[in-house]
A and B are shown apart, each in its own frame.
Chain A
Amino acid sequence: MVNKIKNLEDLRKIKDSCGDLTSTRSATEKTIVVGMGTCGIAAGAREIMNEIMKELQKRGIKDVSVQTTGCIGMCQKEPLVDVIISGKERITYGNVSREDVQRIIAEHVVNGRIVEDLAVGRAD
């Protein structure tokens, strides 16, 4: 049984808590892309993906879109994770470990500071 909406505030609360129901369907400023080619999967990209989802869930981050992509050619550096923030350069992180995921999300995705020691590529 749900609580009845008694005023504007109640409606707003429900709207906020439901916001992420449809937010995946609208354009976001931030995107994380995980390489899921055969090379990526072999190097453990699935675990990295799980870690990313867990971290976003833990921090309650809803304005980031998470996508997968095929092999981009740097197979020796897999797992590869790209962070794209609109208007900024696209950063590729290589040999990403589960511990690195926390740093990338905390420093780059949330605070906008590139994790220099993990970055292996940049593009506009």
Chain B
Amino acid sequence: MPIYRSHVLICGGTGCVSSGSNEVMEAFKKELSEKGLDKEILVVPTGCHGMCEMGPIVVIYPEGTFYCRVKAEDVKEIAEEHLYKGRIVERLLYKGDEVPHIPNYKEIPFYGKQERVALSNCGYINPDNIEEYIARDGYAGLAKALTELKPEDVVEEMKTSGLRGRGGGGFPTGLKWSFCARSKGDHKYIICNADEGDPGAFMDRSILEGDPHTVLEGMAIGAYAMGACEGYIYCRAEYPLAIKRLKNAIKQAEEYGLLGENIMGTDFSLTLHVKEGAGAFVCGEETALMASIEGHRGMPRPRPPFPANKGLWGKPTNINNVETWANVPHIMRRGGSWFASMGTEKSKGTKVFALTGKVNHTGLVEVPMGITLREIVYDIGGGILGGKKFKAVQIGGPSGGCLTEEHLDIPVSYESLAAVGAIMGSGGLVVMDEDNCMVDVAKFFLEFTQRESCGKCTPCREGTKKMLDLLTKMTEGKAEEGDIDKLEYLAKMVQETSLCGLGQTAPNPVLTTIRYCRDEYEAHVRDKRCPAGACAALVKYTIDPEKCIGCTKCARVCPVGAISGEVKKPHVIDQKVCIKCGNCEETCPVQAISHS
């Protein structure tokens, strides 16, 4: 095997691919072969580095130099300066707040407080090469389980680790495995839930794209522990890259005898399939997911019977989320107590979050449990965009809750988040600033869950519709006194009486925003006013006649001709015609126009 003095790692995650990393990769290959450097420098496509806004990302080893927003045109300079002459191309380095240029990956504050377990190989290895995974101790966890441990020992190790379901439920994984392991059946199934559907969340996709083998290895360990011989990865079809890499990984693992018949020369056999889902949010619910695999319409059914007893095609089945499976090989290799040494008393290990919204650094982060929201938002996320004021963070996506300033110092754990009405969820974290209206935010998430409701049970189908009607009335200034109480009453009813997790959690964003930002709701209902200025119907643009110099600029940019006035005399806005686009306010040279 040839030795390369330098490796050029190019991010091939969906984020970087869409900002042009494939072109960068081609440019590197061409440039290196033209310079005769292709025998000593290796170009490696990798998974997501997490800092998607800075993409395409290129990391050069052995130095560990981290280049951001690299374009194909920059490649010639990197090849000539860095790879040939050893001079770092400063203009492409990450620019920190205090330090002008940070050359090394590990010194960037975004990575400082992170602890990477599930993501440890993401952005470090070529996901399409099983040998790179093996070089990083891949499949050693499976080997240990198969050669040294009995199935029940594996379940015990999982219990020791304290790992809990990362899809949002937080059910202890070891306990769940023990149910399925005890269940009698000649044919058992394991399923990987990769139906990630929260708006703005991409944790599972990144793991599947960046390190598919870790999920396969985790599933193989689970199948051995529970006595399963067949498994499915249920992944939404809108993740084409993840599906492609998964299928390639399964093929490679089968060739190496790490999946299929008689794995590693033992009696244990496992066949894995990839099932592409159509992308319905409700199919993330385990019973709906199984119905979908069986070829039925994706709808949940009441439990019990639980999947551990009667799951896929009526056989004992165990379902875990992508991130949960991805943690399993690490636990097998390094031991349950190692995993349990991270995190809080009841929430062990790490959690991956997709950090989005009004923060300076968005992206994928993996942090130890127990870290505070403040550390995530300010230390990792770099604070609020444009120096604005923090208002709230929506944790757990459409099933989660909105938390405000007063909650910034609570530690991130299943219990502490549930205590304030939010949930850990699968890992969506949307940060909002003073310009976000909480009523509008609640409406946004409810619109999503309402649309995704499968319609099987009445509370979810009708209740979320009525809740959305009330919220729409509020944002349009048509709400009546008592509507907030009505909304709260309805929300609690939907929460308590819905059939599955979708309906039971859909009211969370509404309930938490009412609980923590009731004054904003009251302003919408009583004063027909949106304090954040986000609800278009409630915004009113006015021109201050004292300040207006009659330059006519505003009248010229108004797309609907709502502004009139003579030159050099104060102008006025016709409120009936105004569509609240805000063009006039932006254009006014003397700040005479404001909105409320």
Contact = CB atoms under 8 A, between A and B. Distances in A.
A22 B5 contact: no
B275 interface: no
Given A18-B131, A25-B124, A6 B257 contact: yes
B1 A21 contact: yes
Interface stretch (A63-71, A86-94, A102-110, A113-121): A63-71
Contacts of B294: none
A8 B147 contact: yes
Contact of A22 (B85, B87, B124, B255): B124
B94 interface: no
Contacts, number: 108
A81 B126 CA distance: 32
Contacts of B83: 68
Contact of A11 (B1, B87, B136, B264): B264
A2 to B, nearest CB: 5
A10 B39 CA distance: 29
A76 interface: no
Contacts of B143: 8, 11
B132 A22 contact: yes
Contacts of B134: 11, 14-15, 18
Contacts of A31: 62
B300 to A, nearest CB: 40
A11 B333 CA distance: 14
A14 B3 contact: no
A80 B164 CA distance: 56
B62 A20 contact: no
B136 A36 contact: no
A42 interface: no
Contacts of A111: none
A53 B3 contact: yes
Contacts of A25: 7, 9, 61-62, 124
Interface string A1-25: 1101111101100110111111111
Contacts of A15: 134-135, 137, 140
Contacts of A22: 124-125, 132, 135-136
Interface string B1-37: 1111111010000000000000000000000000000
A67 B84 CA distance: 9
20 contacts: A5-B256, A7-B265, A8-B264, A14-B131, A15-B134, A15-B135, A17-B1, A18-B132, A22-B124, A22-B132, A25-B62, A36-B85, A37-B85, A49-B5, A61-B3, A66-B62, A67-B5, A68-B83, A68-B86, A70-B86
Interface of B: 1-7, 9, 39-40, 42, 61-63, 83-87, 124-125, 129, 131-132, 134-137, 139-140, 143, 147, 255-258, 264-265
Given A5-B265, A15-B140, 9 more contacts: A4-B257, A7-B147, A11-B264, A14-B131, A15-B134, A25-B7, A25-B9, A66-B62, A70-B86
Interface of A: 1-2, 4-8, 10-11, 14-15, 17-25, 27-28, 31, 33-34, 36-37, 41, 49-50, 53, 56-57, 61-62, 65-70
Q: Which 7 A-B pairs have the closest CB atoms?
A: A68-B86, A4-B257, A6-B265, A65-B62, A66-B5, A18-B135, A69-B86
